[in-house]
Chain A
Amino acid sequence: MNKIIHKQHFSENVVQLIVEAPMIARSRRPGHFVIVIADEKGERIPLTIADSDPQAGTITLVIQAIGDSTRKICALSAGDCLHDVVGPLGRATHIENFGTVVCCGGGVGVAPLLPIIKALKLAGNRVISVLAARTRDLIILREQVAEYSDELIIMTDDGSDGQKGLVTDGVESVIQREHVDLVVTIGPAVMMKFVSLLTKKYDIPTVASLNTIMVDGTGMCGACRVTIDGVMKFVCVDGPEFDAHKVDFDEMIMRLRSYSD
């Protein structure tokens, strides 16, 4: 059982939880995720670790209520427990000084993007962050992202904040203005697909963090399988990050709808 130490609402449906998990807090690096089971009869769902505090023995999770399980987790209060938390899982993000990196995220994807932004900045990169959402209220972690970015660009569908437009509009404006060595993207699969198509056009290396359906998260089942450059890979052990230009996003988007009925 893992106790919830602190809870904060980012918006109506997006919640940040600080959760007791001492062993995970110690071993976790940017890019890692956990599998969480809400209660005894709950399902195993993957959630990226947004932050951790090895001294306090806690990890930070950001959850959007979109289905039964995430709604249940979002409804928990400080003092409640998550039935199971296991991790850290997946391969950690490869961090080095690439030069100029554009980090773009949408929705709750900003939460897993934040530790990568932080690590890239600390490794000496020039970091330009592009955050996108439907509307102003849905932009999360703005101050934290700004703290570790050389520049922060906000994009909203309705123009209620920053510039009106999609994440790709923001990324393209940077590409046209200056040399970009790497793009990192985390968000809805459709968003990552279009970021990938854009950067392919400009031939800029791009990393996407894939968010597929998972069960065990340790390579046992293949629920999270994706096609990378024509070869089957498991997101939970081979990823979650891949060369975005090699990902078959259409297949991945199709498979995400496996249980939509």
Chain B
Amino acid sequence: MSQLFSGQDIMNCNHSRDAQWRQQLRDQISAKERTAIPRAKMPELDPAYRITCNEEVNQGLDASQAVTEATRCLDCPDPQCITGCPVGIDIPGFIKNIQRGNFREAALVLKETSALPAVCGRVCPQERQCESRCIYLKMKKPAVAIGYLERFAADAMQHSGDDAIPACLPSNGMRVAVIGSGPAGLSFAGDMIKLGYDVTVYEALHQIGGVLKYGIPEFRLPNAVVDVEINALEKMGVKFVKNCIVGKTLSYETLRQNGFDGIFIASGAGLPRFMGIPGENLINILSSNEYLTRINLMGAGRPGWATPVPKGATVAIIGGGNTAMDSVRTAKRMGALRAIIVYRRSEEEMPARLEEIKHAKEEGVEFLTLHNPIEYIGDDKGHVRTMRLQRMQLGEPDASGRRSPVPVPGDIIDIDVDVVVVSVGVSPNPLIPDAFDGLDITRRGTLVVDDTLLTTLPRTYAGGDIVRGGATVILAMGDGRAAAKAMHTTLTKK
């Protein structure tokens, strides 16, 4: 099993596959009976209702649904699901605890390797990770709903008021600094505090959580859920410093002088890309980062909150990723009559999760695929009024293997719009590389790291989007774990 470190040593709990209770569970029901159980369906809010509010769309499984779904898991001798999880969660270990009704133990198994199970259970693309390796797929049946179960166990713990705080090793006298409090930083902090380090996390914004707070909307990931996980880290001893920009408020030299034995850079890829087409700076054309930050972090649209946000009858979102889906579904909730996804390839190539696309469609989002904006036209006050779209068709596969979109000559349409949200990707923020002498960057602006995530500076590691460019929450968390392991190895080497 791909146990990285810490978990078993610290927890000392008996949930290995050989444990008696697990053998009993396996003997209770035949494999045939297990595989005959249909996969659990996630209860969801009705689309007509949910677009009137910001409530979470997925309601979560109830206890009996969760136990039944957990029963489907065959407790394989060589579980492949674990290899599909970037943080290496002991998946059968936590699922079998759910099956026997010990939800607290299930949550603790999750917390051994993941600082944010309530988050991952909601936002991970499980269909491409753990669930893609499930044995059920080989039997042409839907995979065990690992994500639903992870969420169930983490939520059950949260609702019980129990903190699910894993045990930590006694202080080892060493201090580490984390730059950025997004998923990579939090995951790193969680592992290092368990190993006995004194951990300080520096965050530039006025709230902890990075993209979990400013990016992913309430209807997909409530901020309160994120805060419970952050509070648990705080109770374990992680120190958080908000409103502190490393490189500006605190220099790299000051950090070093403050006696940190190691530094983990997880500052993300915040810089939004624009397309550079005429009219893109007109009023009411925003990046998805700006749109989502105003609404999710700054409370725009909620009574009593000071930050404004543009609204309009027709809102167009340019792009086909998860951020585009978050933006377009947010636009619906902000009262748009027409919310349109404009994407230059076909739906098949969309990088967004299938579930998000499905939810968006249920909520009445229009999909204008194989269209690409070429110009925006405004009124005399500079407000965008029209987007000019070029019809596209799919040509030959490009270097990445995807068929690249090419314009259909002369096929151009105009559509009236009030607000445009540009969601065509992000670049790494240059703030950190600019402030750290000796930190090498790639041509794309990401940090250069070796295969242990060590940067070109001593005892300074990096992970998440500042290394990968725009990627996923769970990959960032996996980097946090890997960097913690590598830094721990280096710092404890004699």
Interface of A with B (CB < 8 Å)? Answer: 23-24, 27, 37-38, 41-44, 68-69, 83-89, 215-216, 218-223, 225, 227, 232, 234, 237, 251, 254-255, 257-259
Contacts and interface: CB of A to CB of B under 8 A. Distances in A.
A43 B307 contact: yes
A89 B431 CA distance: 10
The binding surface of chain B is classed by DSSP as loop
B270 interface: yes
Contact of B283 (A23, A69, A87, A255): A255
B255 to A, nearest CB: 12
Given A215-B290, A220-B289, A222-B289, A27 B272 contact: no
B289 A237 contact: no
A222 B283 contact: no
Given A86-B249, A227-B281, A43 B306 contact: yes
Nearest to A236: B431
B444 to A, nearest CB: 16
B196 interface: no
A168 B310 CA distance: 36
B156 interface: no
Contacts of A259: 308, 310
Contacts of B245: 86-87, 89, 218
A37 B284 CA distance: 23
A19 to B, nearest CB: 13
Give the interface residue-count category, chain B: 35 or more
Contacts of B242: 84
A221 B382 contact: no
B298 interface: yes
Nearest to B305: A41
Given A218-B204, A222-B274, A257-B381, A237 B250 contact: no
B140 to A, nearest CB: 45
15 contacts: A27-B248, A27-B251, A38-B306, A43-B306, A43-B307, A44-B307, A83-B206, A86-B205, A215-B290, A215-B294, A220-B271, A222-B290, A232-B276, A258-B283, A258-B284
A248 B248 CA distance: 28
**Closest 4 interchain pairs by CB?**
A221-B290, A220-B270, A254-B382, A86-B243
A86 to B, nearest CB: 4
B283 A257 contact: yes
A249 B280 CA distance: 16
Given A27-B251, A89-B245, A42 B306 contact: yes
For B280, B298, B304, B429, the residue with the greatest tally of chain A CB atoms inside 10 Å of its CB is B298
A255 B283 CA distance: 6
A215 B298 contact: yes
B306 A69 contact: yes
A87 B298 CA distance: 18
A88 B431 contact: no
Interface in B117-132: none
B283 A216 contact: no
B281 A221 contact: no
A231 to B, nearest CB: 9
